[in-house]
Amino acid sequence: MSLTDKSNLNFDPHLPCITSACCIQDQPAADGACPDSFQATVSALNGPADFPPMTAAIVPGDHVAIALDPNTPEVCRILAGVLQVLQESDAETVSVIVSDEVSDQIFADICSVAGDTVQVEIHRPSDREALRFLGPDSLAHPMYLSRLVVDADFVLPITTGRCGDLDRQHDLFGFFPSFSDSASRLRSMSLPNGIEPDATDPHEPAWALGAQLILCVTATRTGEAANVIAGTPIAIRKHLQESRFSSSQESPTSLIVATLDGNQQQQTWQNIARAAATAAQLAEQGGTIVLWSNIAEAPTNSLLSITSEDDLSTDSEPLGEDEFPEWDPLLEPAKTLRSLVHEYRILLRSQLSPEDTESLGMGVIGSVDELSHLTRSFSACRVLRAASFCCSSATQSQKITVPENQ
């Protein structure tokens, strides 16, 4: 398999079709494109910021686990670079645990890169056999993480660097909630009354694991790898602050076009919700949001309840000893989209049937000509490129100032 991640969507050719008198472009980061993400990964791990070379932290007999965010730009080339460095280490075994957002095709590509000697699994947050107890969190709730992560001697998270995560409590290691149990994930979506969002340390799981090193990849406006950085949370946060894209437009806009540039992994409902939530923060109340995607996955599970009165439950109560609630990966995007379709006019460009799109409470925009006609009726338009790479949360939460030493 070629290690080149094929881009499934690039909005560049369609930019001339934006006919608003004023068109402003935003993008995930100010970084330029990385010429060779494989080599950049090798170089980053051999010389991390604020940390020794990764191979120096691995001793003979160690089991190494890679906690992989499948949304990472050029994920297969990045993973190949990590495995290349690990071949030069004293690690006895290597496993890769992938978050449950991964698409079937990207998971197959990851398995191909890993080969026969590396164990690869998708995280199963409701499966007790796939989890290990890590300890209580600061609110005395039990924390469970992926068995492969907890049992490892050395854990390397590979994460997507989203500058928007600097504005809120966020686990830069990517362990929580992506690799936690279903009960913890449900609790994180519905904090009890009286509990502030910053009452818990998002890095609690990492500190309990003893993890210190992160491999972080930022994205270009076309969804390709921009910068590959290895380092401690302080170093990663510093780089994201320096890479933040400064927009020339500060006031809300009546029309936002949010594009999901990138490979097939970006064309998921989780990333549709991330793009919509980010666009809503830039839009006027009641404004129009265009989600320009190639998504072909028909809505299922919780998404089918967006326009109904059915409860989107976040009940996290345990079912019994060693049992966890069933987890629907589409629950969080469904909750986000249900809220947004009532507050904004949302139009979706996709590969879905018009009936599927309209069942979500969204309008259909089917062509570049329709986009051109729409933008002509607005004096100003803001184009948010690679919108799924701007912020990892699919929820519209109040911005939180996080101390730089976290």
User: How does pLDDT run across 166-181, given as a tens digit for each residue?
Assistant: 887 789 999 999 999 9
Helix, strand, coil % over all residues of the chain, rounded to 5 = 35, 20, 45
Question: Is 6 a residue whose pLDDT tops 70?
Answer: no
pLDDT of residue 230: 98
**pLDDT over threshold 80, residue 250:** no
Residues whose CB is less than 8 angstroms from the CB of residue 119 and which lie 6 or more positions away in sequence, other chains included: 93, 94, 95, 96, 148
Q: Which of 208, 241, 274 is the last residue of a domain?
A: 241
Asked if pLDDT for residue 203 goes beyond 60, the answer is: yes
Per-chain mean pLDDT for the chain: 89
For residue range 345-401, list pLDDT tens digits in order.
Answer: 999 999 999 999 999 999 999 999 999 999 999 999 999 999 999 987 655 433 323
For residue 400, the model assigns a pLDDT of: 27
Do 255 and 149 fall into the same domain?
no
CATH code for the domain of 22: 3.90.226.30
State the pLDDT confidence band at 323, using cuts at 50, 70 and 90: confident
Would the pLDDT of 125 be above 80? yes
- Domain that includes residue 346, residue range: 12-27+246-389
Residues 216 and 278 in one domain: no
Instruction: Please state, in angstroms and rounded to a whole number, the distance separating the CA atoms of residues 45 and 246.
Output: 29
The answer to whether position 258 is within a domain reads: yes
The total of structural domains in the chain comes to 2
Whether the per-residue pLDDT at 197 is higher than 50: the answer is no
Least confident of 142-146, 255-259, 303-307, 318-322: 318-322
Task: Record the tokens describing residue 316, joined without a space.
Answer: 């996290």
- The answer on 147 and 120 residing in a single domain is yes
Whether 360 is in a domain gets the answer: yes
pLDDT at 248: 67
Residue that wins the pLDDT comparison between 270 and 406 = 270
Place of tokens 């290690």: 3
Asked whether residue 406 is domain-assigned, the answer is: no
- At residue 133, φ and ψ (nearest 5 deg) are -70, 130
Sign of CA dihedral 257, 263, 268, 270: negative
In this structure, the answer to whether residues 206 and 308 fall within a common structural domain is no
- Whole-angstrom Cα distance, residue 368 to residue 355? 20
pTM here is 0.90
We report the CATH number of the domain holding residue 113 as 3.40.50.11440
The stretch 199-208 carries a mean pLDDT of 79
